[in-house]
C-alpha cells in the first residue's frame, strides 16, 4: 500500500498541539530519560516506540476504566487505548524533530464480524536518513500481537483481512482524526467506550 501525506509540508508533522503536548513538564522529564544527543533518528524512533508499546498499558488489556487523551495524561497514568498511545508516541518523536503522523485501520473489534468493527490508530514516522515514511504500531503486545519497530518490512499489531471488510487507510494525517478525539472526550469509562462506542469508519 502506498502511503499518502495529508500535507506536503513536513513541518506540519512536527507541530505541537493540545493532544501532542510535548512541552508539558512530564513529557520533558521522560524525554530527558529516553533520549541522548548521540542517538540517531532511527535509534530515537525505536526507543520512543518501545517505550510507548511496553511501558504504557492498553486500557483493554489491563481492564482500566480511565480514559486518557493527550500525551501528558497518557504518560502520567501510563494507560490508554490506541488513540491515546499514538498521541504520546507522536509527542515524543516530534519533540526530537522527527516528523510523525497518524494512520488508521478498520478492524474487527474482536474475532467475528458480527461482534462489530472499530477504527484502530497507529503512527507513521518520516525517517529523513532513509527518505521514507514507515508505519509503526505501539498499541502494546500480548498473545497473538507482536508489533515491532521495522524499517523495511512492516511488523504491525494487526494485518488487515479485506475479505472480512477490514482495511488500511493510506492517508497519513497531520493530527489525530477528529472522530478519535471526540470518542475520547465524550466518554468516561474506557472499557465501556472500547466495547460499544469506537467509530467504525473514518
Task: Give me the pLDDT at residue 111, please.
Answer: 85
Task: Give me the pLDDT at residue 82, please.
Answer: 98
Report the candidate in 1, 29, 36, 18 with the shortest Cα–Cα distance to residue 175: 18
Give Dmax over CA atoms of the chain in angstroms: 50
pLDDT digits (tens, 9 = 90+) for 44-84: 999 999 999 999 999 999 999 999 999 999 999 999 999 99
Cell of 59: 486500557
In the sheet with 117-127, reading across from the earlier edge strand, the strands are 4-5, 167-173, 100-108, 117-127, 132-136
Q: Is residue 133 part of a domain?
A: yes
Task: Give me the pLDDT at residue 17, please.
Answer: 98
Q: Is 128 helix (H, G, I), strand (E, B) or coil?
A: coil
* CATH number of the domain within which 162 lies: 3.10.620.30
Which positions ≥6 away from 50 have C-beta within 8 Å?
149
Q: Is residue 109 part of a domain?
A: yes
Task: Give me the pLDDT at residue 1, please.
Answer: 87
Task: Give me the pLDDT at residue 95, please.
Answer: 98
Q: Is residue 201 part of a domain?
A: no
Residues of the chain short of pLDDT 50, as ranges, are none
Q: Is residue 191 part of a domain?
A: yes
Looking at the 3D structure of the chain, how many domains does it have? Answer: 1
Domain of residue 10: give its range. Answer: 4-196
Q: Is residue 47 part of a domain?
A: yes
Q: Is residue 202 part of a domain?
A: no
Q: Is residue 93 part of a domain?
A: yes
Task: Name residue, grid cell 508533522.
Answer: 13
Q: Is residue 98 part of a domain?
A: yes
Task: Give me the pLDDT at residue 91, please.
Answer: 98
Task: Give me the pLDDT at residue 61, please.
Answer: 97
Tell me how far apart the alpha carbons of residues 106 and 165 are, in angstroms, rounded to a whole number. Answer: 8
Amino acid at each position: 500500500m502506498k502511503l499518502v501525506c495529508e500535507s506536503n509540508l513536513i513541518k506540519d508533522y512536527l507541530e505541537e498541539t493540545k493532544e501532542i503536548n510535548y512541552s508539558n513538564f512530564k513529557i520533558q522529564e521522560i524525554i530527558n530519560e529516553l533520549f541522548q544527543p548521540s542517538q540517531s533518528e532511527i535509534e530515537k524512533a525505536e526507543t520512543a516506540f518501545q517505550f510507548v508499546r511496553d511501558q504504557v498499558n492498553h486500557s483493554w488489556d489491563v481492564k482500566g476504566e480511565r480514559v486518557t487523551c493527550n500525551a501528558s495524561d497518557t504518560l502520567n497514568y501510563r494507560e490508554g487505548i490506541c488513540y491515546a498511545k499514538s498521541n504520546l508516541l507522536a509527542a515524543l518523536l516530534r519533540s526530537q524533530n522527527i516528523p510523525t503522523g497518524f494512520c488508521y485501520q478498520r478492524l474487527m473489534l474482536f474475532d467475528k464480524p458480527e461482534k462489530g468493527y472499530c477504527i484502530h490508530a497507529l503512527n507513521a514516522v518520516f525517517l529523513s536518513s532513509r527518505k521514507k515514511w514507515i508505519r509503526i504500531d505501539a498499541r502494546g503486545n500480548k498473545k497473538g500481537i507482536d508489533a515491532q519497530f521495522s524499517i523495511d518490512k512492516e511488523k504491525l499489531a494487526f494485518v488487515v483481512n479485506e475479505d472480512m471488510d477490514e482495511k488500511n487507510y493510506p492517508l497519513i494525517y497531520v493530527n489525530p482524526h477528529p472522530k478519535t478525539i471526540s470518542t475520547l472526550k465524550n466518554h468516561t469509562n474506557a472499557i465501556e467506550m472500547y466495547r460499544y462506542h469506537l467509530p467504525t469508519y473514518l
